[in-house]
Structure 1
Amino acid sequence: MPRCLIITNDFPPRQGGIETFVYEVARRFPPDEVVVYTSSEPGAGDFDAALPFPVVRDPAHTLLPTPRVARVARDLAAVHRCDSAWFGAAAPLGLLAGRLGLPSVATTHGHEIWWATVPGPRQVLRRIGDRAGIVTYLTEHTRARIAPALGPRARTERLVPGVDAEAFRPDLDGAAVRFRHRLGDRPVVLSVGRLVPRKGHDRLVQAMPLVREAVPDATLLIVGAGPQDFWLHGQAGEGVVLAGGRPHAELPPYYAAADVFAMPCRSRRLGLETEGLGIVYLEAAAAGLPVVAGDAGGAPEAVRDGETGHVVDGTSTEAIAARLIELLDDAPGRAEMGRKGRAWVQEEWSWDASYRRLRELLRRASSTVGA
């Protein structure tokens, strides 16, 4: 049976939005129609053993488009009789497209925006655009920033992530999470994401004293790990709980324990570092929560402003606090936004639709790739 070879550095047990994207699509393939080639990761053995499809781990912690990696990918494609390839993140592994001789799809996210603006990496994107059969984009914002760097020969199509609306739903019990983190019956603002400055957790921490002036018991619950962890622990005052990183499968009860979701992301480094989309906004909407998102990158496309949540200036502590206070003070309004958000996700943001879209793009991808 012909298979799709997925080549990626972004695969669980590593945590992150791209990892979730690649995994959720990969597991929807029939088990005998997909094989994953990825980098090594602590804890990968147990994770991979539970999967119904083969995962081949390279000894390297990061796959690069080297001759050795290209040779391993070609050998895997031959052994597993692969007839197509999907690069879970286009840069830089999409450079392998021309060396595999397979129809390929290369998926861009947010980090390729930086690549598109720097001369050397921009040339890499141009070569990926020439070699890959189809290059996908998440949002119109990312397409506008990345497409010129891909060059005139590139074929671009939209491929978005999805949400498992059965896993993330409003009728789950969040009591265990509230007990574990001693939240009681306090109003809870949840934020989930890697702890890096552009996600806006620092602004949320700074906004909480303002929020608590209006809603005295309000508590911010942050789920995630990353370089900003130490700083956030140092800045976190009363009403801020840092829960650490959690596997994706453990997240639904955290959403169920919350009243509002917020990740006021912001662009950094002159717009070179920004949010591609933000799966967490869609997960929160599926869980029936109103969403507060930053006005950076493609994040506003994951919220219907004023309907499923609000888009705010992610650099303004005052603006963030004002929206949080407004939502925490309005239980009927929160519920209405949550209902609309879940309906929107169920209609337009399913993982099954993402999988079907990728299969369609793989069929359409050109079998002629650059040398």
Structure 2
Amino acid sequence: MRIAFYAPLKSPNHPVVSGDRQMARMLVKALEYAGHSVELASELRFYLRQPEPKSFDALKIEAADEAARLTKLWHRDGKPDLWFTYHPYYKAPDLIGPELASAFAVPYVTAEASYSRRRNAGLWADSQALVARAIEQAALNICFTQRDRQGLTDAIPDATFGMLSPFIDTAAFREMPSRGCPTRLVTVAMMRPGDKVESYRMLAQALGSIGHLPWTMSVIGDGPARDEVEAQFAGLPADRIEWLGAIEPAAVPDVLYSGGIYVWPGYGEAYGVAYLEAQAAGLPVVAQDIAGVPEVVRDGQTGFLTPPGDVAAFASAMERLLASTDERTIMAAEARRFVLEERSLGGAAARLAELLRKIPVS
């Protein structure tokens, strides 16, 4: 099929690294791997940081212009067989695809759409109504987590849903180099206010209680809250923490391979691509049993998931893996097997092909 792909929150070509951009790229790869021809329908970023009517109106005008451009293009060059929108939600609704898909009788598909009733107030209620209409219209809404599917099903019960587990391109992890330092902790996370800072704060507190153990840590990440993040770790020995800043995605596997355990509390994580990458590199994970994290980490098998907000439990889980070579080794092997065998690009492509085959295409 010829597929028009659109990610209103962040284009696959966006210059800023993030999990959203990475998954958008992975979906394009998976669709191509499955034999489809994928074209980026639009680079327009429809993102409302705050519920401001003027910004909303301005973005709607831009979206209308994009729809007009694509209408002319499709009349000239032919319409696609399917429209595929990644991650529409209340701050980033799709104001291009549903209208075009309806006008040209093209099946409309979403992936990782989300809906939260607690956002139904003021302008957010208006933007969520747009998301809801798109989900209702869709021939298929692909969910990455049971949590998201349940939220959508509760709000829009008559919509059509399918499941696709979060995945990564495992090509960079197929070759296993010599094992890194088993007591080296690794974290990969942007430094943004909100959930990211909260996770860094919890991590710093937990590390403070296991100072008697011989751990060191590598941190990959940067962002506007870097000073605030580093301040949380000020009470820890500076020579134990290596601040690597933002690095190229291609360099991340080498850092993961240099470590022994991946640690990240995971407040607000939709699921966390970084957890999958860490496990592919053979790192057991310590995270919280929170948000979408259980979709990508198997508690007691590929790592430990601790109760939300329990700093002592998080520290205890890190201590357990640092102290037990046998358990760490067993979990490392299972983590690597889990991702390479069950969460690979090839597996995702096969699942996507299975899901899309069920959609009638004119």
TM over 0.5: yes
User: 1:126 Cα shift?
Assistant: 1.7
Task: Tell me if structure 1 keeps the 8 A contact 2:93–2:130.
Answer: no
User: What 5-or-longer segments of structure 2 have no aligned partner?
Assistant: 46-58
- Whether contact under 8 Å (2:191, 2:222) holds in the other structure is yes
Q: Deviations along 1:197-227, whole A, 9 cap, x unmatched?
A: 42412211222221222x1x31222212234
Equivalent of residue 171 in structure 1, options 148, 172, 176: 176
User: In structure 2, what residue type is equivalent to 1:346?
Assistant: L
Closer/same/farther in 2, CA of residues 72 and 131 from structure 1, 3 Å limit: farther
Q: Which residue does the alignment assign to 1:316?
A: 310
Counterpart code for 1:87? T
Equivalent position to 1:127, from 133, 153, 166: 133
Q: Show the counterpart of 1:37.
A: 41
Shift in Å, 1:117: 3.9
Separation of aligned partners in 2, 1:127 and 1:85:
15
Checking the alignment, whether the CA contact within 8 Å between 1:129 and 1:153 is kept in structure 2 is no
1:159 aligns with 2:164: yes
* Residue 243 (structure 2) aligns with: 242
* Matches of 1:64 and 1:356, distance apart in 2: 38
Q: Which residue of 2 is the match for residue 258 of structure 1? A: 259
2:327 paired residue number: 333
The structural deviation recorded for 1:256 is 0.2
Tell me which residue corresponds to 2:16. 14
Q: Deviations over 1:115-170 (max 9, x none)?
A: 76424143223211222221121111121123223x23311111233123331257
**Runs of 5+ consecutive residues of structure 1 not aligned to the other structure:** 42-61, 176-184, 267-273
What's 1:188 paired with?
A: 184
Quote the Cα distance in structure 1 between the aligned partners of 2:300 and 2:182: 25
Instruction: Please tell me the residue identity of whatever aligns with 2:167.
Output: G
Counterpart secondary structure, 1:211: coil
Q: Are the equivalent residues in 2 in contact too, given 1:172–1:253 (CA < 8 A)? A: no
> Displacement, 1:14?
2.8
Q: Given the alignment, which residue of 352, 358, 365 partners 2:359?
A: 365
TM-aligned CA deviation for residue 247 of structure 1 = 2.7
Task: Note if contact 1:94-1:132 (Cα within 8 Å) is conserved in structure 2.
Answer: no
Q: Taking structure 1 as reference, are residues 63 and 95 closer, same or farther at Cα in structure 2, changes over 3 Å only? A: closer
The aligned counterpart of 2:81 is: 83
Counterpart in the other structure of 1:45: none
The answer (yes or no) to whether the contact 1:190–1:258 under 8 Å persists in 2 is yes
What TM-score results when the alignment is normalised by the length of structure 2? 0.80
Asked if 1:204 is matched to 2:200, the reply is no
Contact 1:256 1:287 in 2 (8 A): yes
Q: 1:48 maps to what in 2?
A: none
Number of matched pairs: 327
Secondary structure (helix, strand or coil) at the match of 1:292 reads strand
The answer as to whether partners of 2:3 and 2:36 remain within 8 angstroms in 1 is no
Matched residues, percent identical?
A: 24
Paired residue for 2:153? 147
Matching residue of 1:181: none
Are residues 1:230 and 2:234 paired?
A: no
Secondary structure in 1 aligned to 2:301? coil
Calculate the aligned-residue CA RMSD, in Å.
2.9
Q: Aligned letter for 2:315?
A: A
2:169–2:344 Cα contact (<8 Å) kept = yes
Q: Does 1:292 align with 2:286?
A: yes
Q: Structure 1 stretch 357-366 or stretch 11-20: which is displaced more?
A: 357-366
Greater relative contact order (Cα < 8 A, sep 6+): 1
Asked if 1 retains the 8 angstrom alpha-carbon contact of 2:93 and 2:128, the reply is no
Q: Secondary structure at the match of 2:82?
A: strand
Gap change, CA 1:356 and 1:104, over 3 Å in 2: farther
1:304 to 298, 308, 313: 298
Contact 2:42 2:66 in 1 (8 A): no
**Alpha-carbon separation, structure 2, partners of 1:89 and 1:15:** 16
Q: 2:277 aligns with which of 283, 304, 308?
A: 283
Distance change >3 Å, CA 321–CA 195, structure 1 → 2: same
Change in Cα spacing, 1:96 to 1:40, as seen in structure 2 (3 Å) is: closer
